[in-house]
Amino acid sequence: MREALVKADFWLLWFLYFLGVGSGVTVLNNLAQVGIAVGIENTTVLLCLFSFFNFVGRLSSGAISEHFVKSRAMPRTVWMTLAQFLMVLAFILYALSSTATLYPATALLGTCYGFQYSLMVPTASELFGLEHFGIIYSFMILGNPIGAVLFSGLLAGRLYDAEAIRQGSSTCYGPDCFKLTFMILACVCGVAAILGVILTVRIRPVYQSLYGSRSFRLPQE
């Protein structure tokens, strides 16, 4: 465990995961308020949409990454990084504060959130082994509550309350309720994408040694 904590790859993966799920859980925690601010009455549809595509992202990320890691020794962080780039697009769509963009943004963000959550687990096991995997995994998923506190509570919550007070109400309406929050989160995901590129370049030799020689396959008769 100590060996993992002093490695740059460990912290690159941690921040890649933290920034991805932290920004994603911010939308999940405030999705009802986001819908109300835009003018949607039935926000349950948004929650169901996010949950469904979250499942799609988790399932498809496993299948896609498994195919390419075995056929081309491609690091799974490639797909985490791609998801971060798509999350930037999703937050820009959210910032437009339109019912026409809210539903596709929710579907896209749910998918990318599922990618981040699902791919972190096998990536951590391949990079740092299974001996202390329980502790490593527990440390990794600290990104969820920390992200919720920082991005959802301190960032989105305070900006939302400030705009609601400016409107003289306890409930905020209009595009300014979350616009600044979404633009900040888009920048956060942009930083995460850069970290993902750096991490992918660094760990490519690890995946070449693990999968490049097809050593994971049983020899045929």
- Count helices and strands (H / E) in the chain: 9, 0
Q: How far apart are CA 168 and CA 50, in angstroms?
A: 31
Q: For residues 123 and 64, is the Cβ–Cβ distance under 8 A? A: no
Q: What contacts 24+ positions apart, CB below 8 Å, involve 38-43?
A: 38/97, 38/98, 38/99, 38/102, 38/175, 39/99, 39/173, 40/99, 40/102
Q: What is the pLDDT along the chain (221 residues), one digit of tens a residue?
A: 666 777 899 999 999 999 999 999 999 999 999 999 999 988 999 999 999 999 999 999 999 999 999 999 999 999 999 999 999 999 999 999 888 999 999 999 999 999 998 999 999 999 998 888 889 999 999 999 999 999 999 999 999 999 999 999 989 999 999 999 999 999 999 999 999 999 999 999 999 998 876 544 444 44
What is the token pair recorded at 139? 């440390």
Residue 207 in any domain: the answer is yes
Q: How far apart are CA 107 and CA 50, in angstroms?
A: 6
Residue 36 in any domain: the answer is yes
Residue 93 in any domain: the answer is yes
CATH of the domain at 175: 1.20.1250.20
Residue 107 in any domain: the answer is yes
The pTM for the full model equals 0.91
Report pLDDT for 219.
Answer: 45
For residue 197, give the amino acid letter: V
How many domains, the chain?
A: 1
Structural domain of 186: 2-211
Q: For residues 196 and 87, is the Cβ–Cβ distance under 8 A? A: no
Residue 56 in any domain: the answer is yes
Residue 221 in any domain: the answer is no
